Structure 1
Amino acid sequence: MSDMRFFRIHRPWEDWVGMLLGVLIMVSPWFPLQASDSVDVERSHLILNCFVIGMLVLGVAQLEYVALQRWEEVASIVLGLWLMASPFVLGYAGDQALQLWHIALGALVVVLGALQLWQDWNLSDQDLAKHPQ
């Protein structure tokens, strides 16, 4: 019973995990060891996408830490879903390692955002303003 109560309260470490995920997304184009010697110019759209999505996830997590609002959690979910879809939309699904990284990181962002949204769903605006920092 106490284990379930642990997940009912939005805790500051969740926002820190969101910030870490944003940083990991920004550097994710260089995670997998590339078998081919592809030039970064050929992958500029991929790098730009990762940088923008990573910065947005990092920024939203920082906003959640400072001033909690429900739209920030919804934005995190949308960003995570876009990261999961981006290998197919932007055409780098052939890179299996990077595709796996983006699906995993996107899923973590979605799960974290959904957990935080569930935790804060019934809170009033005054309760959200009292979010511990």
Structure 2
Amino acid sequence: MSLLERLSAYWQDTLNFLLGVGLFFSPWLFGFGTEQLAVLNAYVVGGIIAVMALMALFAFQTWEDVVSGLLGAWLVISPWVLGFTGSDAAVLTHVLAGIVVIVLAIWSTNEHGAGHLTV
């Protein structure tokens, strides 16, 4: 399977990769670069999501969807746990990204859980 075919067939992982990259750059894109904990959280979680999505594109393991779902849940609650609720942009970015990650993890598990190709 070519790279373009794989990206298209496993669009949830492709979208998750783009979401992780977007989350990584979100402090600059959405102007919450002064919120240190929000920035660190976006860097770390965004990077992990992007790397795991790439791994899933080429050698899927069911645990990757479970971890993605947990990371999504963390993104949803992290503004309150880490205390960066003073920045609407940071809160909205983390909560919306978290919801999308959770939905993609569930969708990917249901659609590809047993039939996802490994190379």
TM-score range, shorter chain: 0.7 to 0.9
Residue in structure 2 matching 1:99, options 85, 91, 94? 91
Distance 1:33 1:90 in 2: 18
| 1:31 CA drift (Å) | 3.2
Indicate the residue corresponding to 2:103 in structure 1: 111
Equivalent residue letter for 1:32: F
Indicate the residue corresponding to 2:58 in structure 1: 66
Indicate the residue corresponding to 1:57 in structure 2: 49
Indicate whether 1:89 and 2:81 are aligned. yes
| 1:76 CA drift (Å) | 0.6
Distance 1:105 1:116 in 2: 16
Indicate the residue corresponding to 2:3 in structure 1: none
Count of residue pairs the alignment pairs up: 112
Indicate the residue corresponding to 2:20 in structure 1: 22
Structure 1 unaligned spans of 5+? 1-9
More helix by share: 2
Indicate the residue corresponding to 2:69 in structure 1: 77
* Secondary structure at the counterpart of residue 60 of structure 2: coil
Moved over 6 A (4+): none
Equivalent residue letter for 1:60: M
Distance 1:46 1:102 in 2: 8
Structure 2 unaligned spans of 5+? 1-7
Q: Deviations over 1:50-108 (max 9, x none)?
A: 10000100011011001011000001101111111111011011212221121111101
Checking the alignment, whether the CA contact within 8 Å between 2:13 and 2:56 is kept in structure 1 is: yes
Indicate the residue corresponding to 1:44 in structure 2: 36
Identity of aligned residues (%): 33
Checking the alignment, whether the CA contact within 8 Å between 1:31 and 1:98 is kept in structure 2 is: no
